[in-house]
Chains A and B, each alone.
Chain A
Amino acid sequence: MPYRRAEAGPREWIDRGRTLRFTFEGRSYEGHPGDTITSALLANGVSLLGRSFKYHRPRGAFSLANHDVNALFCTPQDTHIRGDVTPLVEGMDVRPVNVRGGLDNDRDRHLDRLGRFMPVGFYYKAFHRPKALFPYWERAIRKRAGLGQVDLDWTPDRRAKRHAHCDALVVGAGPTGLTAALDLADNGCSVVLVDENPHPGASFDYAHAGDETALAHRDALIASVHAHPAITLHTRAVALGHYADHLVPIATPDGIIKVRARGVLLATGVIEQPAVFHNNDRPGVMLASGAQRLLHRFGVAACRRAIMVVANGEGYAAALDLHAAGVEIAAIADMGTPESQIPAARLLAAGIPVHRDHAIHAAHGESAVEAATLAPVDADGHCDLARAHRVPCDGVFMSVGWAPAGQLLYQAGGRLRYDDTLAMPVPETWPDTVVPAGRLNGVFDLDCQYEDARDAAARLRAALAGEPVPAVADHRDRVSHGAAWPIVAHDRGRNFVDLDEDVQLKDLEQAAREGFDNIELLKRFSTVGMGPSQGKHANQNAIRILARIRDQGIDATGTTTARPMFHPVRLEDLAGRRLRPTRRSPLHDAHAELGARFMDAGAWLRPAWYGAAGDRAEAIAAEVRAVREAVGLIDVSTLGKIEVVGPDAARLLEAAYTVRAADLSVGAGRYALMVDESGVVADDGLIARLGPEHFFVTASSGHAAATRRELTREAALGGFDAWVVDRTSELGSITIAGPRSRELLAPLTDVDLDRKAFKGGIRTGHVCGQPARVLRAAFVDRIGFEVHADVAATRLIWARLMDDGAALGVRAFGVEAQRVLRLEMGHIIVGQDTDGLTDPFEAAMAGAVHFDKPAFIGRGALALLAERTQRRLVAFTLPADADTPLPRESHLVIEDGEIAGRVTSIAHSPTLGYAIGFAMVDTALADSERALTLRVDDGVQVRATRAATPFVARRGKRAQPESRS
Chain B
Amino acid sequence: MSWKLFKLGLTSPENEPRFFPEEKPLASHYDVVIIGGGGHGLACAYYLAKEHGITRVAVLEQGYLGGGNTGRNTTIVRSNYLTSEGVKFYDASVKLWENLSGDLDINLFYSTRGHFTLAHSDDAMRTMRWRAEVNKHHGVDSEVVDRDAIARAVPTMDLDCGGGPAVHGALYHAPGSVVRHDAVAWGYARAAAQRGVEIHQQTAVTDIHTAGGRVTGVATSRGDISCDAVVSMVAGYTPRITDMLDLPTPIEIYPLQACVTEPVKPFLDTIIVSGSLHVYVSQSSRGELVMGSAVDPAVLHSTRSTFEFVEGLADHIVDMFPFAGRLRLLRQWAGMADMTPDFAPIMGTTPVDGFYLDSGWGTWGFKATPISGQTMAATVAAKRNHELIEPFRLGRFADFQLVGEKGAASVGH
Contact = CB atoms under 8 A, between A and B. Distances in A.
Touch between chains A and B, by CB atoms below 8 Å:
yes
B164 A580 contact: yes
B212 interface: no
A659 B71 CA distance: 49
Contacts of B307: 240-241, 243, 247, 249, 258, 564
A565 B331 contact: yes
B249 interface: no
Nearest to B266: A142
A719 B69 CA distance: 42
Nearest to A819: B122
Given A154-B323, A514-B19, A524-B71, A902 B133 contact: yes
A154 B322 CA distance: 7
B285 A142 contact: yes
Given A131-B102, A153-B323, A899 B306 contact: no
Interface string A555-569: 000000101110011
Contact of B201 (A141, A151, A518, A524): A518
Given A127-B2, A891-B133, A513 B325 contact: no
A125 B107 contact: yes
A156 B318 contact: yes
A79 B134 contact: no
A260 B54 CA distance: 56
A835 B404 contact: yes
A118 B317 CA distance: 35
A126 interface: yes
B18 A515 contact: yes
Given A126-B2, A600-B165, A891-B129, A152 B318 contact: no
Interface in A859-910: 861, 864-865, 868, 888-892, 899, 902
Contacts of B350: none
A126 B133 contact: no
B326 A150 contact: yes
Given A145-B287, A147-B262, A149-B265, A123 B329 contact: no
A578 B332 contact: no
B13 interface: yes
Given A158-B318, A832-B126, A80 B265 contact: no
Contact of A146 (B4, B109, B126, B265): B265
Given A516-B19, A565-B330, A145 B121 contact: no
Contacts of B99: 131
Contacts of B318: 156, 158, 571-572, 575
A535 to B, nearest CB: 11
Interface string A915-934: 00000000000000000000
B333 A563 contact: yes
B172 interface: no
Nearest to B287: A146
B366 to A, nearest CB: 15
Interface in A224-272: 240-241, 243-244, 247, 249, 258
A362 to B, nearest CB: 21
A188 interface: no
A521 B189 CA distance: 13
Interface in B274-327: 285-287, 304-307, 310-311, 314-315, 317-319, 322-327
- Residue among A79, A148, A521 with max Cβ neighbours from chain B (10 Å): A521
A145 B317 CA distance: 22
Contacts of A854: none
B5 A832 contact: no
Contacts of A258: 307
B305 A564 contact: yes
A156 B163 CA distance: 14
B324 A571 contact: yes
Contacts of B328: 80, 568-571
Contacts of A126: 2, 4-5, 8, 107
Given A150-B323, A600-B164, A890 B129 contact: yes
A914 interface: no
Contacts of B331: 534, 563-565
A141 B285 contact: yes
Contact of B111 (A114, A138, A534): A138
B316 to A, nearest CB: 8
Interface in A455-472: none
B248 interface: no
B161 to A, nearest CB: 10
A659 to B, nearest CB: 22
Given A244-B306, A575-B318, A157 B332 contact: no
A836 B20 CA distance: 45
A564 B127 CA distance: 36
A521 B63 CA distance: 11
Interface in B10-57: 13-14, 16-22
A524 B71 CA distance: 9
A150 B182 contact: no
A830 to B, nearest CB: 11
A216 interface: no
A613 to B, nearest CB: 15
A145 B14 CA distance: 28
Interface string B114-149: 000000110100110110111001000000000000
A129 B102 contact: yes
Nearest to B303: A561
A891 B128 CA distance: 11
Interface in B389-413: 400, 402, 404, 406-407, 413
Nearest to B104: A128
Contacts of A902: 130, 133
Given A125-B8, A150-B264, A576-B315, A78 B287 contact: no
B329 A565 contact: yes
B256 interface: no
Nearest to A511: B19
A836 B330 contact: no
A145 B267 CA distance: 12
Given A574-B314, A837-B404, 13 more contacts: A117-B1, A123-B109, A129-B105, A147-B263, A147-B264, A150-B323, A150-B324, A241-B307, A243-B306, A563-B331, A576-B311, A832-B123, A891-B129
21 contacts: A80-B326, A128-B105, A128-B108, A142-B287, A146-B266, A150-B323, A241-B305, A532-B330, A534-B331, A563-B332, A570-B326, A570-B327, A570-B328, A571-B318, A574-B310, A575-B318, A889-B129, A890-B129, A899-B134, A902-B133, A935-B133
Can you list the 7 inter-chain pairs with the closest CB atoms, starting with the nearest?
Answer: A146-B287, A572-B325, A156-B325, A568-B328, A117-B9, A574-B314, A890-B129
